[in-house]
Amino acid sequence: MAKENDLKSAVESIKTAILQGQYEAAKKVNRVQLALYFAIGKYLSMNTRQAKWGSGALETISSQLRKELPGLKGFSATQMKEMRLFYEGWKMLDPNSSAVADEFKNAINIHQAMMIPETKDFPVDDFFNVPFTHHTIILRKSKDIKERYYYIHRTAVEHISKEYLKKEIDQHTYEHKDRMPNNFPATLSNSEMARKAVMMFKDEYLLDFINVEEIGERDCMDVDERMVEQGIIQNIKKFIMTFGNDFAFVGNQYHLEIYGVENFPDLLFFNRELKALVVIDLKKGAFKSSYLGQLMTYLSILDTKVKKTNENPSIGIVMCKSADREFVEFVIRDYNKPMGVVTYRTSEDMPANLRKALPDIEELKKLL
């Protein structure tokens, strides 16, 4: 067990740091809060990892802090463990990490807590614009430093929620980043929109809420696009959550007509971030170059007859079961409408033990 004097000293040190941090954080600078949590996390790490304080120390410190600072929030034992995680996850930012200085054992200096590495790779501005809770989610779920940088940047730029961040990491978005074959840079004159569009779409989507056996009650090899479309429509909320942020469903088999010729694209969405219509053409098998010609027709009609004057050019996505990336990139480069090709998997493509763990279609309908 930790000595009583040790814990009293710990409470006093943390309380002093909190008051100092609250004074400076009154300026609403996230950087100050992160520096405070980093410094406290360092202090806790140095005194708990070597069992200096013993078990139950954080609960005791938290309880005493609440007594001495009535109304204090964010310093439960669990939250202090998060601060320790934050420090240990970013120990590279500690100027004294190689040799623990004695003065840091007894005092917490939030101004000397963090040192930004002299490397162009470290996302300084993004790092200090990401809320602490998002940082801890990234640290718990991402071990690779480049992957952490990626999710930090996404969070800072897109202001994504905690739940959405967890979902993105769980779906291994980083592994699929910037991999969707597309012609956005060449067809979208606004470079910022082109960048957002590239980041908006992954190269593969797991539609694990679609059980093609239950939808069609027929052999799996005979599944067609309409069956997949039906599964998406029955679970449209879940599909939008899987597909990405800020999508609004416009309709399926959306009627497009020009010069007396009718067309019915499978799915039509509007994306608020891109300020553009997004049409999805579902295909049951491998990618074929002819799919882009069909998609080009949809986009031409949408831009001519549906798109509003204040909206950006419509974007087309072919969603198929498989695609050769190099072939797609070769074919798509000569089209002048923004298009991309993604692949999808359904529950039938998952291992049997994982499929059994999924709720069936009827259960999903009730949930939605």
pLDDT in tens, 265-276: 988 999 998 999
Which stretch, 58-67, 83-92, 196-205, has highest mean pLDDT?
83-92
- What's the Cα-to-Cα distance from 185 to each of 15, 267, 295, rounded to whole Å? 52, 24, 18
End-to-end CA distance of the chain: 51
Helix spans in 26-76 (H): 30-48, 57-68
pTM of model > 0.75: no
Give the pLDDT of residue 189: 84
98 versus 203: the higher-pLDDT residue is 203
The DSSP letter of residue 314 is P
Q: Which of 7-11, 21-25, 191-195 has the lowest mean pLDDT?
A: 21-25
Total Cβ atoms within 10 A of residue 135: 23
Inform me whether the pLDDT recorded for 91 exceeds 60: yes
Strands (E), the chain: 204-207, 247-252, 256-258, 261-263, 267-271, 276-282, 315-320, 339-346
* Percentage of the chain lying above the pLDDT 90 cut: 31
Give the pLDDT of residue 349: 56
Q: Determine the residue type at 62.
A: S
Q: Determine the residue type at 222.
A: D
- Cβ contacts of 241 within 8 Å, gap of 6 or more: 167
**Concatenated DSSP letters of 176-226:** HTT-S-B-HHHH-S-HHHHHHHHHH--SEEEETT--HHHHH-S-GGG--HH
Q: Choose among 340, 320, 322, 344: nearest CA to 331.
A: 340
Measure CA 215 to chain center.
30
**Hey, what are 313's tokens?**
């050019």
pLDDT in tens, 282-321: 888 899 999 999 999 999 999 999 999 999 999 999 999 8
Distance CA 206, CA 355 (A): 12
Inform me whether the pLDDT recorded for 38 exceeds 70: yes
Distance CA 107, CA 121 (A): 32
Residues 167-176: what's their mean pLDDT? 81
Q: Choose among 274, 273, 332, 337: nearest CA to 302.
A: 337
* Percentage of the chain lying above the pLDDT 70 cut: 74
Give the pLDDT of residue 4: 67
pLDDT in tens, 208-261: 666 544 444 444 444 466 677 777 777 777 777 777 778 888 988 899 999 999
pLDDT in tens, 50-81: 767 777 888 888 888 888 888 778 788 889 89
If DSSP codes are grouped into helix, strand and coil, which group holds residue 339? strand
Identify the band that residue 367 occupies on the pLDDT scale cut at 50, 70 and 90.
very low
Give the pLDDT of residue 193: 86
Total Cβ atoms within 10 A of residue 204: 17
Q: 280: which strand partners?
A: 267, 317
Write out the H or E segment, with its range, that includes residue 162: helix 162-170
319 versus 352: the higher-pLDDT residue is 319
Give the pLDDT of residue 351: 46
Which stretch, 154-158, 184-188, 201-205, has highest mean pLDDT?
184-188
Write out the H or E segment, with its range, that includes residue 240: helix 236-243
Which stretch, 31-35, 80-84, 214-218, has highest mean pLDDT?
80-84
Total Cβ atoms within 10 A of residue 141: 15
* Structural domains of the chain ordered from first start: 4-173 (no CATH), 178-367 (3.40.1350.10)
The phi, psi pair for 191, rounded to 5°, reads: -65, -35
